[in-house]
Amino acid sequence: MRRAAVTDWRPRLAPAIVLRHDRARDTDLLLLPERVVILRGAAGAVVGLCDGTRSVRDLVDELAGRFPDSAVATDVPPFLEGMRREGWLR
């Protein structure tokens, strides 16, 4: 996929997938029809921004402000693309 196509994509959760915070574990979860995915680190913050209105470029810019010492620009696009391959993001 072309780099521009990846950064212009506006990710959102696929239907029937829900992002929830588990207070008992103090972690974010993706609730899928027949399984639960535990999101580690800042993954919940990344997925929480995937509402279909922001492009990947916008997400990276916002997250770079929140996590200035992280490699957001190199880590977030492949993370989101992997989630799209799994069918969790559209």
Total domain count, the chain: 1
Q: What is the pLDDT of residue 2?
A: 54
Which phi-psi region, left, alpha or beta, contains residue 11 (left: φ > 0; alpha: ψ -120 to 50)?
beta
Domain range for residue 39? 3-86
User: What does DSSP assign to residue 12?
Assistant: B
Which of 2-6, 46-50, 59-63 has the lowest average pLDDT?
2-6
CATH of the domain at 57: 3.90.930
**45: buried, middle or exposed (CB in 10 Å: 19+, 13-18, 0-12)?**
middle
Q: Residue 7 corresponds to which tokens in the numbers above?
A: 């950064």
Which of 6-10, 35-39, 43-47, 73-77 has the lowest average pLDDT?
6-10
Q: What is the pLDDT of residue 29?
A: 98
Q: What is the pLDDT of residue 3?
A: 54
> Mean pLDDT over residues 14-28, rounded?
96
Q: What is the pLDDT of residue 5?
A: 55
